[in-house]
Amino acid sequence: MLLYFLFILPVVADFETMLANSKCNIPVLHKIPKRRNIPFILRHPKFSNQKFKEAVRFEHLHEKYGERKAGIDYPGSEAAPTNAWRSIKFGEYLERYVFHGLSLDEYVERDDYAILWGPSDSCIYTGGCRDCGMPSCMGHHSFIPAEVQDLFQCHTNKTHLVSMGIGGKYGGLNFHTHEAIFNQLVHGRKLWYIVKPDTRLNLRKNRTSIETLKEYINRPEIMMCIQEEGDFIYIPDQFYHLTFNLEKVFMVGCSEYGLDTSLAMPQRNYY
């Protein structure tokens, strides 16, 4: 395996092309199933959230909301917010981390990574929820106003906690796990790596998804799919997942507390 990487990784363009051409091995569905305990992609125009999509077009975000504050964090395996959390103007975040215009080589060499996703944007204090002794930061977002957030629909009859985020090309989150989530990609393209909860992973808190992809590419236990614009992806409770942005992205996650996963969908042999 080491020799394999020595041959392919110096040619970064080949590595990027390999990721962009990854074959999907999870189900792609056109309606929401009643029984869910494995990952799936939901792909149908009726779930497009078109009004919300129009309201968060990239070309308008900086102009309309650039002066708003945003909370960002480091994209490691530890769930945000962590001690790396910090406040920044949304426009500054967009300029440095979303509209960066870098090649993959340049992005890796710069070694400056940040995410704006869900809980990280909801905090209003430095230090993160883990150490400050304050209640959970979840529940509202700072970088876009409430009337824009309210345009989004999760399209299921569950009680959801909605998390929103925006990221640049080559960004993403390292392997992490949490409650079941129904995640729509409003803009862009994103690669997902997913593994079952009992999979042994080499998790490092301060490691980017790019570094981990180099280790886990072509591993047989990996479930993977490229999420296209408009797709929802469902990640069951406690399944580890990693993301890598093939383009700049706007995503929204609907956490489904109390979801009944006791009824299994028909199983497929992924491994």
**Percent of the chain topping pLDDT 90:** 49
What's the confidence (pLDDT) of residue 128? 46
Q: Mean per-residue pLDDT for 124-141? A: 54
d(CA 142, CA 120): 10
What's the confidence (pLDDT) of residue 159? 66
What's the confidence (pLDDT) of residue 20? 86
> Which CA distances in Å does 167 have to 42, 81, 185, 218, 247?
22, 16, 11, 25, 9
Higher per-residue confidence, 165 vs 122: 165
CATH code given to domain 2-256: 2.60.120.650
Question: Over the stretch 17-76, which tens digit does the pLDDT of each residue have?
Answer: 888 888 899 999 999 888 788 999 999 999 999 999 999 999 899 999 999 999 898 887
d(CA 4, CA 123): 43
Question: Over the stretch 204-218, which tens digit does the pLDDT of each residue have?
Answer: 666 778 888 888 887
Q: Could you tell me the pTM of the whole model?
A: 0.84
Q: Sheet containing 116-117: which strands, arranged edge to edge?
A: 28-29, 40-42, 232-235, 181-187, 249-256, 160-167, 116-117
What's the confidence (pLDDT) of residue 248? 97
Question: Over the stretch 227-271, which tens digit does the pLDDT of each residue have?
Answer: 999 999 999 988 999 999 999 999 999 986 543 333 333 332 222
pLDDT band at 138 (very low <50, low <70, confident <90, very high): low
